[in-house]
Chain A
Amino acid sequence: MDYPADSALLARLLAGEEKAFRELVATYQGAMRAVAFAIVGSRNADEVVQDAWLAVVRNLKGFQGRSSLKTWLLTITANTAKTRLKHNRREVLLDDLPGPHGTVGEKRFADDGHWLREPFAWHQDTPEALLTEEELRECLEKTLTSLSELQGSVLLLRERQGLELEEICNLLQISLSNVRVLLHRARLKVFATLEHFEETGQC
């Protein structure tokens, strides 16, 4: 097996060790949920994740370690979600819902493309320092919830789960250019929220 950390965990999982399953769920459920969310939407995501876990358990013995455990789990989740959708797969929704603090859009630039209102210099330069403000955490959560299901999932899979763009394309069956658009729009809204908070001290 090419993934030594996985193979140690896998042995414990196959032995039915409860603690190993707690680790597995705690580590990967967030990413699985994001994949389910992107494909079936918020209403059915939790059910898909539950079904995916059962599929994981059923197939655990057959897991060959040709991919990482994470890739395997996410593939199972995506397949479970797609089965749920059957033939009525939604169009890829590139909907760009307005964020609570807007984005870095047209209005920030002059006609010649120069900054009209330049980026505000933030007071803090580490995530830890920024996040000491409880209110900013809540404010960010609000922005993240305001994103469309697909946009939010793509952002989460990339920024929090560290998936490559190509993996996201494959799992969600959307084109690379769509992934790039979704990601960019989501990031600008997050940026706008942080900037707004740094500038005004409130959400």
Chain B
Amino acid sequence: MLSCKELVANSSDLLDSQLSLRQRLAVQMHLAMCYRCRRFIKQMRLSQRVLRALPDAAIPELEELAARLAEEVRTRR
């Protein structure tokens, strides 16, 4: 039987679908019985979504760079 600590160790592989069938079954069995680990996984997934939702850092000199690249293409034609 998988321990909570082992479940946490396998959690990223679970999120990335990197577990073998056998490991996946063990993880699912553990999660079915352990609300703490269910909460952990739920909140791991939430933190993934939080990272995705963070605003992009502004790109300094976006305009200038774009203008320079466009110019470069036009002169190359």
Among A1-9, A21-29, A63-71, the stretch that binds chain B is: A21-29
Choose from B3, B67, B71 the contact partner of A113 (Cβ within 8 Å).
Answer: B3
Among A35-43, A83-91, A92-100, A118-126, the stretch that binds chain B is: A118-126
Choose from B18, B36, B74 the contact partner of A115 (Cβ within 8 Å).
Answer: B36
A123 CB to closest chain B CB, in angstroms? Answer: 11
Q: Kindly state the interface size class of chain B when it binds its partner.
A: 35 or more
Q: Which residues of B contact A104 (CB under 8 A)?
A: 8, 40
- Tell me whether chain B's interface is mostly helix, strand or loop, or mixed: helix
A26 and B36 in contact, given A17-B70, A60-B73, A180-B18 (Cβ under 8 angstroms): no
Within 8 A of B (CB), among A107-121: 108-109, 112-115, 118-119, 121
Q: Which residues of B contact A56 (CB under 8 A)?
A: 69
Choose from B4, B18, B47 the contact partner of A194 (Cβ within 8 Å).
Answer: B47
Q: With the chains together, A26 CA to B49 CA distance in Å?
A: 21
The chain B residues found within 8 Å of chain A, CB to CB, are 3-6, 8-9, 11-13, 15-16, 18, 36-37, 39-40, 43-44, 46-57, 59, 62-63, 65-67, 69-74, 76-77
Q: List 17 A-B contacts (CB under 8 A).
A: A16-B70, A24-B69, A25-B66, A25-B69, A26-B56, A58-B76, A113-B3, A114-B3, A114-B5, A126-B46, A130-B50, A140-B54, A155-B51, A180-B16, A187-B15, A190-B51, A194-B46
A13 and B63 in contact, given A115-B36, A122-B43, A127-B52 (Cβ under 8 angstroms): no
A113 and B43 in contact, given A25-B69, A30-B57, A155-B51 (Cβ under 8 angstroms): no
- Number of residues on chain A facing chain B (CB within 8 A): 54
B3 CB to closest chain A CB, in angstroms? Answer: 3
